[in-house]
Structure 1
């Protein structure tokens, strides 16, 4: 019998057939420390590189991603199971984000004059150092891009700890940056386990942390960062409401809700998870929703006619199934689905649930899978009570033909982002982030760029002038 101990590794597993595709050896603490040292050295040079030169590299990243969008999309589909067309769409969004910061960073980071009674004053926006980025698997390229594009363009360096089930995507992003001409060490991928993140946060050369993930992970990382007096930004998921007003176009509302909820296998922090429908149109909405569900095509995510692929992992599928079963045991109605599909892979039936009450766990939980929950309300006050009955506050939607009325309702929802007549979406120029236990801080737009810069005041005055 051999006494050889196998080196710990990260496995890339295809959720369509549960086959191991590739393995990556975990990095030792010594190697991680060495890579952070290298990133710190790279930062000292990168911060002095002109914004124009940084922008050229970001534009090159955008060009590379567009040129390789099919290959990148297939890699994301292979590792986490999203439908190929959606994976390619994700890559296109990434390219747009890189271009956005390349086009706008010089303006966003320009000195800002301040009015003072004597002399001059201005704000200078300066990078702070090496940023630790901890990202999830559900949008393997977009999540990396959302943090890296802004903070690297601002002059920071970055080390990435990606989710352990998308290691090939993680390595590909570093490879793309190198191909785009980014100096070695400015962006570095780390293959480490989740339990090893806190020691990385404690490294004095890490100056700030950005994380997208679960609430427990966010709390842990935020605590570790706070102990070191380091800034953090957190995006911790959501259970987004989708309020359908009495005057809504029901067919359009159904189409928007179902497509939004089933996109990416239902594994989207901002997908419309809780559909809250006016009682007068509830039955019509439910009937049309069932018709829409009948059109969902579950299958191989690489196939062009598939609209719903597997969940990201077997554990993910089993976790969602457990939530559905518990809801049924507590009295909820499983209108459609609710079971595993009898085939190899992390598949789950698209599921429609009604009759959910505050006495059930599902009333408050986030469900990260192809599960739509539909509620009925009598008054706007009741709709808002349901909408706000969660500890999350990320995105949300209000659907109705009277836009002014919809905006009034939107103002009363406790959330970081609300869309009118559209499922919560993303665009480079729109800040992304939440409130309550969905986290804090913003990504994208100018707000995302300024999260990890030192906003330095510089004040000049003549020696003979009063302050």
Structure 2
């Protein structure tokens, strides 16, 4: 209890320090936040004013110097030197060499090292979560929760390290054994997006490691400090286990590095999380070299609410799914399909709920909704609202940028648009919810499926038959299909990903580990004869 009390006290003090920093006078605007006393905790993560953004067993970087900014006030935090192509070449060679050592480590021992990574993250969970909040912009509880996801998938991977393997199959030939052998692909390239700068890497990294792969990570340039801080934690664990640091290499950089990774035949699997537009380009580059890719792309997710739904579940679910992370999740609810009999009631109740959303500094424990990640995101939000109006929509709540420092916009509800309006079919990475009115089950299911993306979907009903139709072949065509819960939020044990323009990839649980390995069908003849399949005989 004493340890818990101390941890909670430290967390509260840390939050108060960060919150107080938002109210600093304008004279500090030109100063890097990391040099201000209230941000001294950043040094607990090994960060400094200028940070090296390349790690391959040693730290370096000879590319462009990037300054990262706090979305809540647009003040500069610190600087990270990115990689150039020379750094990339050196790093990938070291990563491939490190793989030779890692592949020889038994899978349960690899799991033990991943367990230690999870424990190291636990020890830094509050301060690392605070960095996620500071650099990405999500509220503090979400920032800490994101680090917890990495911890959780490490725990999951530890157990998996003693379970991966293929079946022994019956051979049709006497004196023969038929087995499946699974081996690591080699080097897994991991390109992650700004909105989940810790968790998505963790989903890939922990599973890839226990499968016997080395990893090469390129995070988003706007969250480079998070990439550096996480890598420092992992590097220390590898060093303590006398393992090459290049097993988990880091290569901070822009589009040139990402393109090089996609085209490089030495990258045996490329996991890309980002927009559908860029993902399509990545897929083509990887496929051109007959490479393997794991794509987690856009979502245009719908909540479908029928007349028999429990509105006590619907209202908080719609609110959380639409405005969580300020609408910057791939699983954010962007469409709310309401049966005509309850449309007006739900819109009224949801608007009242929106009015109670506490908007403010991400580090304040009372805040439920923080800023967008960049100024460009604010511009995109405003453009989407105007497009919705031009296409016949009515803004019943929100629709404006907030007049305060930082990248804040109002969470927004739009009604009156046709289901096939172009803006409804566009994924705007912002807290805009399009409310559509339907008449029949067939209509609702069809509207859910008509968008190009196929990530997440939810239905709210008490009708058991409808639930199983929703889960069946003529129901939702998404990779995540929910009943009476929001579209956002994923459990570690289930495979996460989507269909169609979402890319078809799967990460984390179930049998998604197979994507990080190559399969061999092996036939062993332990007899003294050479019988051929199908009874063929050569005389």
TM-score, normalising length: structure 2: 0.83
Q: Partner of 1:390: helix, strand, or coil?
A: coil
Q: Partner of 1:82: helix, strand, or coil?
A: coil
For 2:413, the equivalent position in structure 1 comes to 352
Q: Of 343, 346, 365, which residue of structure 2 is paired with 1:282?
A: 343
Report Cα offsets for 1:336-377 as digits up to 9, x if no partner. 110000001110001111111156321211121111211111
| Residues 267-306 of structure 1 mapped to structure 2, 5 A cutoff | 267-306=328-367
Give me the whole-angstrom Cα distance separating, in 2, the residues matched to 1:9 and 1:371. Answer: 34
8 Å Cα contact 2:191/2:219 also seen in 1:
yes
1:116 aligns with 2:180: no
1:199 aligns with 2:256: no
1:422 aligns with 2:485: yes
Report Cα offsets for 1:82-109 as digits up to 9, x if no partner. 000111111112111111011122212x
Give me the whole-angstrom Cα distance separating, in 2, the residues matched to 1:253 and 1:340. Answer: 27
CA RMSD of aligned residues (A): 1.5
Deviation, structure 1 residue 8: 2.3
Aligned residues: 461
For 1:371, the equivalent position in structure 2 comes to 432
After superposition, the Cα gap between the structure-2 partners of 1:423 and 1:183, relative to the gap in structure 1 and judged at 3 Å, is farther
For 1:3, the equivalent position in structure 2 comes to none
8 Å Cα contact 1:11/1:164 also seen in 2:
no
8 Å Cα contact 2:114/2:209 also seen in 1:
no
1:246 aligns with 2:301: no
Q: Which runs of 5+ in 1 are unaligned?
A: 1-5
Q: Which runs of 5+ in 2 are unaligned?
A: 1-61, 533-539
| Residues 86-97 of structure 1 mapped to structure 2, 5 A cutoff | 86-97=142-153
Q: Partner of 1:106: helix, strand, or coil?
A: coil
Deviation, structure 1 residue 382: 1.6
8 Å Cα contact 1:261/1:370 also seen in 2:
yes
Q: Partner of 2:454: helix, strand, or coil?
A: coil
Give me the whole-angstrom Cα distance separating, in 2, the residues matched to 1:395 and 1:166. Answer: 25
Q: Of 199, 208, 211, which residue of structure 2 is paired with 1:151?
A: 208
Give me the whole-angstrom Cα distance separating, in 2, the residues matched to 1:218 and 1:186. Answer: 25
8 Å Cα contact 2:96/2:214 also seen in 1:
yes
Larger Rg belongs to = 2
8 Å Cα contact 1:442/1:448 also seen in 2:
yes
1:335 aligns with 2:396: yes
8 Å Cα contact 1:403/1:420 also seen in 2:
no
8 Å Cα contact 1:298/1:308 also seen in 2:
yes
Give me the whole-angstrom Cα distance separating, in 2, the residues matched to 1:147 and 1:258. Answer: 29
Q: Of 218, 221, 246, which residue of structure 2 is paired with 1:185?
A: 246
Report Cα offsets for 1:424-453 as digits up to 9, x if no partner. 321121001111101122111143211021
Higher relative contact order (CA 8 A, sep 6+): 1
Report which stretch shifted further, 168-177 or 302-311.
168-177
1:381 aligns with 2:442: yes
Deviation, structure 1 residue 251: 2.4
1:448 aligns with 2:512: yes
Give me the whole-angstrom Cα distance separating, in 1, the residues matched to 2:421 and 2:466. Answer: 31
8 Å Cα contact 1:251/1:288 also seen in 2:
no
TM-score, normalising length: structure 1: 0.96
1:170 aligns with 2:234: no
Moved over 3 A (4+): none
Give me the whole-angstrom Cα distance separating, in 2, the residues matched to 1:427 and 1:214. Answer: 22
8 Å Cα contact 2:262/2:286 also seen in 1:
yes
